[in-house]
Amino acid sequence: MAHWAKVLQRLEIDSAMQSQWDWWHEHAEDIPLALFYDLKFVAANDAALAYFGCLSNEIIDTAIYDFSPRLQLDGHSSIEQARKLFEEAELAPQTQQWLHLHRNGKELPTRLSLYPVSLDNKPMILARFEPLNRRARPRQEQERNREFDAIPRSVLANILEESAEAVAITDEQHHIIAVNKALCRLTGYSPAQLVGESLSLLDVAGDIHLKECQLALAERDFWQGEVLRQRADGKQFPAWQNSRRFNNEQGGNYLVTIFSDISSRKQLEARLTTQAMYDSLTGLPNRRHMKQLLRAALDEHAQRTDARLGALMFMDLNGFKHVNDCFGHSMGDMILQMVAARLEAGCIEKADIARMGGDEFTLIITDCHDKKEVLRFAEQIMTLFDTPFELQGQKFYLGTSIGISLFGQEPISATVLLSQADTAMYVAKQSADHIMFYDTSMSEEAEHRLKLLGDLRHALSLGQFSLYYQPIVNLSDGTLLGAEALLRWQKTRHELLEAVDFVPLLEEAGLIVTVGNWVLEQACIQAARWREQQSPDFVISVNVSPLQLEHLDFIGQIEKVLLNTKLPPAALMLEITESALLHHPQQARATLAKIRQMGIKVAIDDFGTGFSSLSRLGNMPIDSLKIDGEFARELYHRRGQQLCQAIVQLSQALELHFVAEGIETNKQKEMLLAMGEGSAQGFLFGYPLHPNEFAMAHFHPAASTQICN
């Protein structure tokens, strides 16, 4: 009792338990209380020891389910139920009816209350055992005992003989006295072969649970748990065993051992574990399993005294979305299986590989000498993607981006490490070599990006978006033909962002269709106004994202805008990128055909920077090619001139109009004019301007004269 009193003084409890705690102190000898760590008794008061009929040394370090039947009254396993209950008690107090067992085997219906406490800064569970229906139990047990006494011994013997569970009864020397039919069926022995032999005939050498059983029986006369049993043919099987020692009136001891084959249950548990811990598509560890492996690696490094490094690599496949979009998810799944197989073949001996989901994989490596060794390993992984993946007669060239977070230098959690590697991977996708080690600046950039994304969600409703217009002119005489509408975001009073800085975020947030429709409507309203007041032939060019083009209501949206603004279809030019043609080429062709049937012009924007197929380009219903500004900057070099000339000739061969972007000097203008007739756009002809400023600069006679010159 003195030991328990000292334990109570050291316990730290939640303030909400204080009044109850004080009452327990006053009645310390009457209330069965015990302290648990990891489901095992750490300490118990005298009332708890009396409740279970044990001495202190018999109960310490035993588990709570050692004093419980195999199954609770609701049919659930005592072990699994206890683990779940104690896990929940770590977060908040729990109360549940529980069936305990006294040392002599009598059942103890109990109201079990569990409370989270702390002992010397170590989290533990305090348990209170409250007997249920205490007054009625003695009478009920007496009546039950009398009922069993009234049953003929032959009936009880037959019940034992016909039991579905294997039963063996041994004497004090552990020699078998009797066995039932189920035991013979399970083990393959006959009764004649077993009776008189030691029960160890069924034991499996080296089974650590047998030693545990022997110690428990010596201390408290009963034990239950999982063991290995051996059949007559030498085959082994897992069994759930209950062992209980009984004393007869003559002072003799008998041991009753009951067990059942749990092979099917173990196989089911193994299947469920596999499903819970491994990816069903690739067979690799899944995200949950990977976190366990990572925590284990971090714990191992925390114990090391050398300066070795570990690393978590976060991989994302480059180009995989295109495979899914063009060839379907079944083909994509087969590619993922091939990637997993290639990773396993290339580095399974050096790393723990896992699939996080989608086209994301992780690798955990340990025992590296330095950062250079980690980099070499990452470069080795990159080489695995040099060879294309061949499937159903197709060759798929995929790459990968790898973000790396190191550990071993200072303590770090698995969650933080994973977040760092993910952040580094995102940065790696934008880098040249697609390998990036994490540093703190990336987190700052990621936080900034996250805040930007949050602000962007409200930009449209707050009226922060606006359109600027850049002129498009005739190359030969500088005549104003129209303008391109360019989206701007007035994020703050002094911060105006260009579309390139936030359109990818709009696509990521799923806002691009909504904002794109707004841009289309505002541009058409402005174009209709200018056509009516300034230039009857003015044509407005509007950029369209691939997601807009794929949207089912896109054609309907265009028709609605043209109807509301009274803008003629011929006054609208829709600019699409080459990538929009690659995602769903047949759908894109059908949509563009409908747009052209309406009388609307279509241009391929930033031509020359993508991967358009010439045969596909020739079949596409388009009107113009907008030559990317990068080619204009290369016009001062012979190679650049040749490329630009080739694009102009291509447009002429396909009977397409061309618009040269990025023209900043008269020399560039003259060089392009010598290649062929077309249109141009760039700072030489005008900067992107607010509508009022655009009108003043380009519809004023003086401004027109300046442009021509």
Rounded CA separation 647/636 (Å): 16
**pLDDT in the model for residue 209:** 85
Q: At what angle do helices 638-653 and 666-675 cross, to 10 degrees?
A: 40
Rounded CA separation 478/458 (Å): 40
- Whether the CB-CB separation of 45 and 29 falls below 8 Å is answered with yes
The least confident of 214-228, 230-244, 420-434 is 214-228
| pLDDT of residue 93 exceeding 80 | yes
Sequence-distant (6+) residues with CB within 8 A of 9 are none
Q: Which residues pair with 119 in a beta bridge?
A: 11, 122
Place of tokens 């993946």: 389
At 361-378, the pLDDT tens digits run 999 998 888 889 999 999
The confidence band for 700, taking pLDDT boundaries of 50, 70 and 90, is low
Higher pLDDT, 137 or 219: 219
**pLDDT in the model for residue 480:** 93
**pLDDT in the model for residue 685:** 92
**pLDDT in the model for residue 147:** 61
The confidence band for 706, taking pLDDT boundaries of 50, 70 and 90, is very low
**pLDDT in the model for residue 265:** 87
| pLDDT of residue 580 exceeding 90 | no
**pLDDT in the model for residue 655:** 85
Rounded CA separation 414/310 (Å): 12
pTM above threshold 0.75: no
- Complete DSSP assignment for 345-410: HHHTTT-EEEEEETTEEEEEEEEESSHHHHHHHHHHHHHTTSSPEEETTEEE--EEEEEEEEESSS
- Specify the DSSP class assigned to residue 65: G
- Whether the CB-CB separation of 660 and 647 falls below 8 Å is answered with no
C-alpha 582 chain-centroid distance = 29
**pLDDT in the model for residue 584:** 65
**pLDDT in the model for residue 1:** 47
Rounded CA separation 636/681 (Å): 18
**pLDDT in the model for residue 707:** 41
**pLDDT in the model for residue 142:** 47
**pLDDT in the model for residue 469:** 96
At 342-363, the pLDDT tens digits run 999 888 678 899 999 889 999 9
Residue 411 is inside which H or E element, if any? none
- Mean local confidence (pLDDT), 297-313: 84
At 615-670, the pLDDT tens digits run 566 677 888 988 888 888 888 888 888 888 888 888 888 888 999 999 999 999 99
The confidence band for 397, taking pLDDT boundaries of 50, 70 and 90, is confident
Among candidate residues 15, 62, 24, 68, the one with its CA nearest the CA of residue 40: 62
- Mean local confidence (pLDDT), 40-68: 87
The least confident of 326-335, 395-404, 448-457 is 448-457
**pLDDT in the model for residue 214:** 83
- Mean local confidence (pLDDT), 589-604: 91
Quickly list H helices, 90-152: 136-149
**pLDDT in the model for residue 181:** 92
C-alpha 643 chain-centroid distance = 45
**pLDDT in the model for residue 501:** 86
At 249-269, the pLDDT tens digits run 666 788 899 999 999 988 888
- Whether the CB-CB separation of 624 and 658 falls below 8 Å is answered with yes
In the chain, the percentage of residues whose pLDDT exceeds 90 is 36
**pLDDT in the model for residue 179:** 92
The least confident of 1-15, 80-94, 379-393 is 1-15
**pLDDT in the model for residue 704:** 42
- CB 708: neighbour CB atoms within 10 A? 12
The confidence band for 524, taking pLDDT boundaries of 50, 70 and 90, is very high
Which range, 146-155, 527-536, 698-707, has the best average confidence (pLDDT)?
527-536
Rounded CA separation 464/300 (Å): 52
Q: Can you say whether residue 662 is alpha, beta or left, with left for phi > 0 and alpha for psi between -120 and 50 degrees?
A: left
At 25-51, the pLDDT tens digits run 776 677 899 999 988 998 898 889 989
Mean pLDDT of the chain: 85
At 119-132, the pLDDT tens digits run 888 889 999 998 88
**pLDDT in the model for residue 155:** 81
The confidence band for 146, taking pLDDT boundaries of 50, 70 and 90, is low
Q: What angle do CA 614, 618, 619 make, to 5 degrees?
A: 120
| pLDDT of residue 705 exceeding 60 | no
C-alpha 483 chain-centroid distance = 45
**pLDDT in the model for residue 562:** 94
**pLDDT in the model for residue 703:** 43
Rounded CA separation 481/540 (Å): 9
Q: Write out the two tokens for 659.
A: 């618009």
| pLDDT of residue 138 exceeding 60 | no
- Mean local confidence (pLDDT), 445-457: 79
- Whether the CB-CB separation of 585 and 553 falls below 8 Å is answered with no
- CB 282: neighbour CB atoms within 10 A? 21
**pLDDT in the model for residue 635:** 85
Rounded CA separation 326/580 (Å): 12
At 426-438, the pLDDT tens digits run 889 888 889 999 8
Rounded CA separation 86/127 (Å): 10
| pLDDT of residue 515 exceeding 70 | yes
| pLDDT of residue 401 exceeding 90 | yes
Long-range interactions of 679-684: CB distance < 8 A, separation 24+: 679/472, 679/473, 679/474, 679/475, 679/481, 680/472, 680/473, 680/474, 680/475, 681/470, 681/471, 681/472, 681/473, 681/484, 681/626, 682/629, 682/632
**pLDDT in the model for residue 139:** 46
- Whether the CB-CB separation of 339 and 315 falls below 8 Å is answered with no
- Whether the CB-CB separation of 460 and 515 falls below 8 Å is answered with yes
Residue 577 is inside which H or E element, if any? strand 572-577
